[in-house]
Chain A
Amino acid sequence: MYNILICDDDYDIVSALKIYLSSDDYKTFAAYNGKRAIEIIKENKIHLVLLDIMMPEVDGITAMVEIRKISNVPIILLTAKSEDNDKVLGLNLGADDYITKPFNPVEVLARVKSQLRRYMQLGAETRPKSVIQIGDIELDDDAKTVSVSGELISLTPIEFDILKLLMKNPGKVYSTKQIYSEVWQDEPYGAENTVAVHIRHIREKIEINPAEPRYFKVVWGQGYKMERQA
């Protein structure tokens, strides 16, 4: 049972989120401005914060800086600002993730789950060598399994090989040609376009929002890469 603090100046949004989170067995706390949020964190054991940026009195960014002084609880920003600058600023100032309004409730739940898992279990277990972990994606080369946020997902052998190749060298950009010759062990005569299709399928399976991937990124005009750390 995790405690989640929802902080937004819009009552309706807060109560909607309360309903979703409660139905997944989380205990929720509500705050309608930044000041109240800080007080609640000081008074209670909170495991995750959903924080709106634009709020009266103390805004979300200021509140986050205050929270970071006392706690390293995961913070997911809820924001109507979708500009890249705002995202980068938020992440730099200590946010763990962000969700832009208007959001899809399913996506909020998935991200909450992902953050909690990382926060609660980070470094808790020692893993066998055959396991590669990036963010909350775990790839076990011996068992040929992949799990996201602890849930096993099913990949085809080709998809598994592509994911393994990219996870082995996070940060490195692979062109479709390279991926083809590594995974298929063959010369790619015009067959590279199949790689892009496989990669899209992988992303649909491992990413919460495949259009805005956190791990498996497209480097346009160059290839694909796995982020070192989301």
Chain B
Amino acid sequence: MGTGIQDGKAGIAMKNMSNSLLTKVLAYLLMTITALTFTVTVLSFVIIKTYDIDRNPDMAFFKSNLCSDITTDYAMEAYNGYFMQYMSSFPDQQSMEDYKQYYSKENTNFFFEIKDESGKTVLSSYTDEYGYKIPFAVGKDGFTVTAYVRKDIEASDDYLFPYSLYDFAYKTRNVLIPLASVSMVITILIFIYLMYSAARKKDHEKFEPSFIDKIPFDILFLLIGGMIVIAVLGVQQIGMALYEEYMFEGLIMLLSFGFAFIFLSFMVLTVSFAARIKLKTLFRNTLFYIVIAGIFKFIWKMLSKIPLLWKLLLVIGFVSFIELILMLFMARGSFTPVFFWFLIRIAIIILSCFAALNMIKIKKGGEAISLGDLNYRIDNRYMLNDFKKHAENLNNISKGMSNAINEKMKSEHFKSELITNVSHDIRTPLTSIINYVDLLDRQNIDDVTSKEYIDILKKQSARLKKLTEDLIEASKATSGVITAKMEKLNLKEILNQAIGEYSTKLTENSIEPVMNDFSGDIHILADGRLIWRVMDNMLENICKYSQPGTRAYITVEQQSSRVRICFKNVSKYKLNISADELMERFVRGDSSRTGEGSGLGLSIAKSLTEIMKGAMLLEIEGDLFKACLVFDKA
């Protein structure tokens, strides 16, 4: 049993945690990383396969387009430099040294030989220890350049970074497939989680839209789509420039961030799409739908505002106009058919107008009856047969209803009158009883037993007095004699006043009232005197039935248009009784019925609350008694 409850709690905690915003953001970030890993590993794998890196690791880089691009650029540069230096008329010794230094072994992995048109080597930085020959020739002026790349790339030039990447790819070739699989599995799992948690919020049972899901979907789509397109174009442009400069570190950063950005944007869109499907707002929450629905609503509103008769004439007029034009075309100058058509049309219009007028009369009658005017009778003297029958039925309904209501009112009134009269008749003898018991009490009676009997008489006559008062109040509250004068009342003031009124009584019963902290600006619509009667009964109840030494909680919660006031206390008696039963007249928490109280308090409070268009709800949980009043905000 106990563990079951704990499991349930843990489950709820898990659920709450898994739906919190922080978890979701972390999931997005982790997913971006795993997706990036997956993409990179797959790309690396493709590159390895394309360039045979795994089978021929030494040659792979040197065979790649990238290597030959870099070499071409270097060769062109070297060749142009050579021309600048050797062909100029005044060779400058210093810059010659610089040129040579630039192509030294320490500074570059690139080496070359330049031959003139006759095939004679004019400049060479090539030595035997150098590696691969990249065939390259410049045809300009018959000169040729032969380029070489050193086998062990060590000097820091454009070759170094891509070469080390190739090297890295080769070294990691065995982990690529496992890494790709793991990252793919994690990506898919996180994707499933995001799909599941879409539209779910912490502490919410039902699906709730996030702020992104509230943006119309077409707008969101265009927004994120636009962002993705701009990002793709930007990455492409900047990437090309970086590639041309062989800034590979920058390029990798750019591609990673570009990928992350595009991927995240796409995921946000996808998750929102899933959330909308769950919320069933995919089509409803689009700008297109909103605009179209608005236009239709407007047209509908316009149409419904035009009186029935005009609507009818408008439709008939429109149809007749089109028919007339068609007739004129068809008749070709012969006017007899047009004349007959005209006569028939007029007859139709007169008949329709008559029917519409009947309809309007019936509609008016229906509206009057639905608003509660049961004495309204529809005049059906000049009506077409079917309308006449309908009007008569409506008249009969209102007649029947008004009869039924009158009967009900009469019986309620009679009941209330009876209770009031009987109570009055009880009051006069009761006055005598109370007074003479009091007089008896003032006599100097020494007999202990007599004293005890007098005390019982006193207590019971006081109870009888309270009972008759409550009985009158209850019968008045339920019979509709009381009407509420609704006004704007400050809730904090009322509760402070009510608790203040009961301060002495609460202290006497050692009950500590605790009010939650709420705004002093909450106003409710109620009748000041009636609401005091309600509070009076609630607090009376607390004083009478609370376990002494406990606290009574009075809490105020605001809902959208209503306010909920709850009174919570710990019952003195065992409450093995349902909340519904407790609300019934004469039912009391102590089944032995020995204490004071008539058992009418809650029933009176409920009736009075309902007169003020409020509601009263009771809840019982073990010994915890909770009564809530709900009122409209003012």
CA distance A219 to B520 in the complex (A): 17
**In contact, A220 and B528 (Cβ under 8 angstroms):** yes
CA distance A104 to B472 in the complex (A): 19
CA distance A196 to B515 in the complex (A): 14
**In contact, A13 and B501 (Cβ under 8 angstroms):** no
Instruction: Tell me the residues in window 138-175 of chain A with beta carbons closer than 8 Å to chain B beta carbons.
Output: 175
- Among B489, B515, B524, B531, point to the contact of A193 (Cβ < 8 A): B515
CB of B504 within 8 Å of the partner chain: yes
Q: Name the distance in Å between A192's Cβ and chain B's nearest Cβ.
A: 6
Instruction: Tell me the residues in window 521-553 of chain B with beta carbons closer than 8 Å to chain A beta carbons.
Output: 524, 526, 528-529, 531-532
* B433 neighbours in A (Cβ, 8 Å): 102
Which chain A residue shows the least CB distance to B423?
A: A80
How many of chain A's residues have a CB under 8 angstroms from any CB in B?
A: 37
Known: A16-B439, A80-B427. A220 touches B504 (CB 8 A): no
Instruction: Tell me the residues in window 469-491 of chain B with beta carbons closer than 8 Å to chain A beta carbons.
Output: 469, 472, 487-491
Q: Name the distance in Å between A49's Cβ and chain B's nearest Cβ.
A: 18
* Interface window among B141-149, B286-294, B492-500: B492-500
**In contact, B428 and A10 (Cβ under 8 angstroms):** yes
Q: Name the distance in Å between B423's Cβ and chain A's nearest Cβ.
A: 8
* B430 neighbours in A (Cβ, 8 Å): 101-102
Known: A102-B427, A220-B528. A193 touches B439 (CB 8 A): no
Known: A102-B431, A200-B501. A190 touches B517 (CB 8 A): yes
**In contact, A220 and B435 (Cβ under 8 angstroms):** no
Q: Name the distance in Å between A16's Cβ and chain B's nearest Cβ.
A: 4
* B435 neighbours in A (Cβ, 8 Å): 12-13, 16-17, 20, 105
Instruction: Tell me the residues in window 126-170 of chain B with beta carbons closer than 8 Å to chain A beta carbons.
Output: none
**In contact, B517 and A221 (Cβ under 8 angstroms):** no
CB of A119 within 8 Å of the partner chain: no
Q: Mark B428-444, 1 if CB is under 8 A from A, else 0.
A: 10111111101100000
Tell me the total A-B contact number using a CB cutoff of 8 A.
Answer: 105
**In contact, B431 and A196 (Cβ under 8 angstroms):** no
Q: Mark A38-80, 1 if CB is under 8 A from B, else 0.
A: 0000000000000000100000000000000000000000001
CA distance A190 to B492 in the complex (A): 10
- Name the residue among B434, B496, B498 with the largest chain A CB count within 10 angstroms: B496
CB of B576 within 8 Å of the partner chain: no
* A103 neighbours in B (Cβ, 8 Å): 431, 434
* A20 neighbours in B (Cβ, 8 Å): 435, 439
Which chain B residue shows the least CB distance to A223?
A: B493
Q: Name the distance in Å between B586's Cβ and chain A's nearest Cβ.
A: 21
Which chain B residue shows the least CB distance to A10?
A: B428
Which chain A residue shows the least CB distance to B465?
A: A102
* A110 neighbours in B (Cβ, 8 Å): none
**In contact, B501 and A222 (Cβ under 8 angstroms):** no
**In contact, A197 and B500 (Cβ under 8 angstroms):** yes
Known: A175-B490, A193-B496, A200-B504. A221 touches B531 (CB 8 A): yes
- Chain B residues in the interface with A (C-beta under 8 A): 424, 427-428, 430-436, 438-439, 465, 469, 472, 487-494, 496-504, 515, 517, 520, 524, 526, 528-529, 531-532
